[in-house]
């Protein structure tokens, strides 16, 4: 579990406040339940600090093999500029990244990160070549495919092939959905990462319920009454972060419930951060059928260090 999170996060956290997600075309399928989009620029001071210190902790860790440490060391300097990915259903996650140059990420590097001492099987599809683990896992990065222009990583090789078809045909994409564009256009355009959660047919609320069972805590009772949710985060420096969550209500008579849950979520976060002696402030606002939760966090550095050491 920890290894696949490191792989995903090593891609997710090389970020920059630069381009609004709403302005970017998504190559994810329109039925994706959760989508994120990132633009990479090492000049961002907050993320540059995070990545430098994170890689240092990986290299110092006794729990990570030398082979994996070498792979992470090769991957970090070659992070693609434009990255997106998401959760497709309760079993499948995907990451898509245009390569900064041919062979900037090697097959050997990715194999060393995801193999887990499990046999790998080679496959090819429409100009892509890659590997998948025998016995691919749910919600784990278990497969990848590379072309001259893209790296695609996913929970299974079948969904990689479906994603390649979507990228090639440019049909049924998430960015063609008006709700996706509307929700993300309301978030601050400068952010390190933007996330869109699609609650079509209550898909996201079902995933959230599963997460809440693991957390042993309910954080958003009104989730079934959401049409979608957008989230934006800006890592300002090693100590400060800003964020905004936008909840689009599917039923106007449920807006008060969503407002109450947004306030409750803000209070839960305040208490969690207070335990770590981290300053946290938030406010809830309302516009039409959207509820906004804005947060500011300072004193993050000790928490980052603690997370790096886990």
pLDDT tens-digit series, residues 232-282: 988 889 999 999 999 999 999 999 999 999 999 999 899 989 988 899 999
Instruction: Give the end of a domain, one of 152, 168, 184.
Output: 168
Are residue 59 and residue 162 in the same domain, yes or no? yes
Are residue 234 and residue 94 in the same domain, yes or no? no
Per residue, the 3-state secondary structure of the chain, as one string, reads: CHHHHHHHHHHHCCCCCCCCHHHCCCCCECCCCEEEEEECCCCCHHHHHHHHHHHHHHHHCCCCCHHHHHHHHHHHHHCCCEEEEEECCCCCEEEEEECCCCCCCCHHHHHHHHCCCCCEEEEEECCEEEEEECCCCCCCCCEEEECCCEEEEECCHHHHHHHHHHHHHCCCEHHHCHHHHHHHHCCCCCCCEEEEEECHHHHHHHHHHHHHHHHCCCCCCCHHHEEEEEEEEEECCCCEEEEEEEEEECCHHHHHHHHHHHHHHHHHHHHHHHHCCCEEEEEEEEECCEEEEEEEEECCHHHHHHHHCC
Instruction: Give the end of a domain, one of 153, 168, 183.
Output: 168
Lowest mean pLDDT among 70-74, 79-83, 228-232: 79-83
Evaluate whether residue 183 is within a structural domain: no
Parent domain of 276 = 199-308
For residue 203, is pLDDT > 50? yes
Evaluate whether residue 178 is within a structural domain: no
Q: Any idea what the CATH number is for the domain that residue 304 is in? A: 3.30.1360
For residue 16, is pLDDT > 80? no
Are residue 60 and residue 155 in the same domain, yes or no? yes
For residue 73, is pLDDT > 50? yes
Are residue 273 and residue 144 in the same domain, yes or no? no
Evaluate whether residue 209 is within a structural domain: yes
Evaluate whether residue 24 is within a structural domain: no
* Residue 35, both tokens: 């989508």
Evaluate whether residue 181 is within a structural domain: no
Maximum pairwise Cα distance, the chain: 56
If you average pLDDT over residues 202-230, what whole number do you get?
86
For residue 299, is pLDDT > 90? yes
pLDDT of the residue at 102: 62
pLDDT of the residue at 248: 96
Q: Which of 75-84, 98-107, 204-213, 227-236 holds the top average pLDDT? A: 227-236
| pLDDT: which is higher, 25 or 56 | 56
Lowest mean pLDDT among 31-35, 71-75, 235-239: 71-75
Are residue 58 and residue 151 in the same domain, yes or no? yes
Are residue 110 and residue 217 in the same domain, yes or no? no
Evaluate whether residue 119 is within a structural domain: yes
Global model pTM greater than 0.85: no
Number of domains in the chain: 2
Evaluate whether residue 110 is within a structural domain: yes
Chain segment 122-141, per-residue pLDDT in tens: 999 999 999 998 876 677 88
φ, ψ of residue 280 to 5 degrees: the values are -140, 130
| pLDDT: which is higher, 279 or 191 | 279
Distance CA(90)–CA(109), nearest Å, equals 27
Distance CA(197)–CA(226), nearest Å, equals 10
Percent of the chain with pLDDT over 90: 34
Evaluate whether residue 190 is within a structural domain: no
Are residue 75 and residue 8 in the same domain, yes or no? yes
């Amino acid at each position: 579990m920890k290894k696949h999170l490191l792989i995903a996060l090593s891609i997710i956290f090389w970020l920059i406040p630069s381009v609004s997600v709403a302005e970017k075309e998504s190559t994810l399928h329109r039925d994706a339940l959760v989508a994120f989009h990132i633009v990479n620029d090492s000049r961002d001071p907050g993320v540059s600090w995070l990545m430098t210190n994170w890689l240092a902790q990986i290299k110092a860790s006794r729990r990570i093999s030398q082979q994996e440490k070498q792979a992470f060391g090769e991957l970090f300097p070659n992070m693609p500029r434009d990255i997106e990915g998401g959760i497709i259903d309760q079993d499948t996650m995907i990451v898509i990244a245009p390569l900064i140059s041919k062979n900037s990420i090697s097959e050997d590097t990715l194999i060393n990160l995801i193999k887990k001492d499990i046999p790998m099987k080679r496959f090819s599809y429409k100009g892509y070549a890659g590997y998948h683990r025998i016995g691919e896992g749910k919600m784990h990065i278990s497969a990848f495919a590379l072309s001259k222009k893209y790296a695609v990583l996913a929970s299974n090789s079948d969904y990689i092939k479906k994603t390649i078809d979507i990228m090639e045909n440019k049909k049924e994409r998430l960015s063609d959905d008006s709700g996706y564009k509307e929700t993300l256009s309301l978030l601050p355009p400068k952010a390190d990462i933007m996330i869109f959660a699609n609650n079509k047919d209550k898909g996201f609320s079902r995933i959230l319920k599963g997460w809440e069972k693991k957390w042993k805590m309910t954080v958003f009772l009104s989730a079934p009454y959401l049409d979608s949710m957008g989230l934006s985060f800006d890592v300002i420096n090693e100590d400060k972060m800003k964020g905004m969550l936008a909840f689009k209500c599917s039923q106007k008579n449920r807006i008060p419930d969503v407002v109450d849950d947004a306030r409750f979520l803000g209070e839960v976060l305040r208490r969690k951060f207070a335990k770590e002696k981290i300053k946290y402030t938030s406010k809830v606002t309302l516009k039409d059928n959207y509820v906004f939760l804005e947060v500011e966090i300072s004193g993050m550095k000790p928490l980052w260090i603690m997370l790096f050491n886990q």
